[in-house]
Structure 1
Amino acid sequence: MNKNLKNMIIVFIGFFFLSLFSNTLSPFITTIKSTYGVSNDLIAILPPVVYCSSFIMSIVSARLQNMMTLKRGLHVGFLFAAIASIVILVSKSFYVLLVGYFISGLAVGMGTVFLTTTLSLLPKEYQKFSLGQACFGLGGILILPIDRFILKNNIAFNYTYIIHIICVIAFIIISSKVEVNAPCEKEDRCVNTFSILRNPLVLLLSLAIFFYVGAEISTTNWTGTFLESYYGLTKAEVPGILSSFWILFTVGRAMGDKILEKVGTLRFLSISPLVSILGIFIILSGNTKIQSLIGIAVIGLSMSLVYPAIQGYVIQHVDSEYVPAASAIVTIFNNLGATFLTYIIGFAGGIKVSYVFIIQIFFYAYIFIVALHYLISKTGKRQLS
């Protein structure tokens, strides 16, 4: 098998396993609350703990890229997932469980940075960022029936993490075949990660990642509540609609690389946010189930490629020695958005759930303005050398 193709497939497998692992928590929140007998206020800190530790570890990993090989970084990141799984599996106390989920955030932060950097250092034709994100989305879809099976059969939720321990062992074996080296490893050209933010293109598009993540998380976290409140859908109907959203979202990403090649990244990024805003107006102004389905479908398809489009454009428009730094910065801003915008959006949603979608309009407007600026000015060239 072609070496670069093999490396790309290994990264995709890593994204899939990491997604299975990171998406296990959400469906079990209510179960964890009842199992450990904790209050609503205490259980509410679980997701932020994961987001925060992931954000911290993404910053640390940006430094570690200059200190260890990519292969070792992948192994260490996934070992954190194994350690977290063991802690969660044996925990008898909520606070021990909290430690386990904190470590799980470390695994996600480090695993994402090293997987993304590995993919970013492949030749351009193998930098299938959209397909990589589709593999991550597929993990999020497939973990749901696994979690439902666990809950339906009254199996202890933490037994799910046995699956993740097996996946970690499998990936460490598979990733031992990775043959990608960072510039720092090959030629001792280590670049200070955060110095790349002096590049206006990198800074502005990283902020676009920050705002996009806020839009994605608010859509996935609040759409169910919105549909129940404004469309009168039942709790039984909402999961089906959300599953449809994730399927469309993942299908969009699976086809994304070819779409971006034909349309052009900047042109796509100057159109897609406007389509997403249209989808928001559809669901905010509608009152029938079919209108909600149309609005969510429009949002799901249009937003699916925004992240990989920005990610790919940033990485492909810096010189080779800056690629690991650019890759790490994209992940850091991703985690930064997930950590901080979640609170802001949650506060707005607590006042009125429709505010969640109104805020998104400003997020998409920023992405549109930045993309249009570079599309018109044609300054999206390599600015670091």
Structure 2
Amino acid sequence: MTQAGVLLDRDGTIIVDHGYVGSVDRVEFIDGSIEAIAALNAAGIPVAVVTNQAGVARGHYGIEDVQQVHKHMIAELARHGAYVDLWLFCPYHPDGTVEAFARTSADRKPGPGMALAAAQNLDLDLSVSWVVGDRITDLGMARAVGARPLFVGPATSPDPDVTSFPDLASAVEFILAEFILAEAAEVSGGRRAERVKFPAHRFDEADAYGGAYVAELARTFATVDLADIRRAADVLTQAYTRDAVVFSCGNGGSASIANHLQCDHVKGIRNGTDLTPRVVSLSTNVELLTAIANDLSYDSVFEYQLQSQARPGDVLIAVSSSGRSPNILRALEWARAHGMQTIALTGFDGGAARRAAAVAVHVDSGNYGVIEDAHQACMHLLAQYVRQSRMSPDAVAATTF
């Protein structure tokens, strides 16, 4: 866990606290809060909302109502170019009247649960992250996990050691000033390179955007360390030669790359060579995926399959743009602990997956589409390299790849 993030309370920090805000018509954004979140986005700082929703336990509204409020807030934020990376809420309260939610919970602030979940999902170092809220419970959660608390609202902080701000906009100005200083210190120490933002402005014509996209894709692919490509190719060539199984996995667009990998690394590599690769995509069996997700957890969908099918000496290729997905990390950790070789295809800053894999093919971009295009190209070039390496020069010259 390496990066700083901001954990925001909801009611009284982002929107006006009207008391049990459980319906869309009661949502009123505090002046400047949307712009403040957009400023954090522009700086590349992950943002999570962590909110106690005792109204569920007290019977004022249901889980679905909280989700509808968040959907409305997401849409309103998007209209102004802002977004929240992760939404977390705790519906429990020990004095609740709804039996299912009438209990204590470590997720309820000042408990650490939501902060720890945010750290796991967003790859945060809580010791350099901020918690911003308008209640002493927010400050308590920050203290519980070693984060830096900031108090917002018309009143001053009940803790004299915590800095107070009139609103979120003011607190974010403070956060950004600290963040810039930390960035400058890292750059002066040679530890950080600035990532290019794409797109950095709106395009009015598709052809202009297309040209810029192609240029960004070329810039991004140039960031790939070709030594990592060589290492990944060596791992795969040796695995196919000794008849080991290669497993692939990914979520969303990365799942399609994992599935496509199975096609090109079985049919493609076998065509014209002496190899008969055994490749299994863990992302392709919807019946098995949903059974594991429903009965155990979505975090287990890849790890559980490996436990049944993988053996020491097999290979896992994990595709993850963010490198933060819990199911990807669990699969990588299980694979390494049980004698498998591991390769990760990552983007953004690589997240924990980049560090967990023995070989990480990393593309330095902050655009999901560009990252996935680069990952697809890496998948193809690895398949084609292995294939042509097992063919004669004349066969390579006569073959269409």
Q: Same fold (TM over 0.5)?
A: no
**Bigger CA radius of gyration:** 2
Q: TM-score, normalised by structure 1?
A: 0.30
Q: Which structure is higher in strand share?
A: 2
Q: TM-score, normalised by structure 2?
A: 0.29
Which structure would you say has the larger RCO, counting Cα contacts within 8 Å and 6 or more residues apart?
Answer: 1
Q: Which structure is higher in helix share?
A: 1
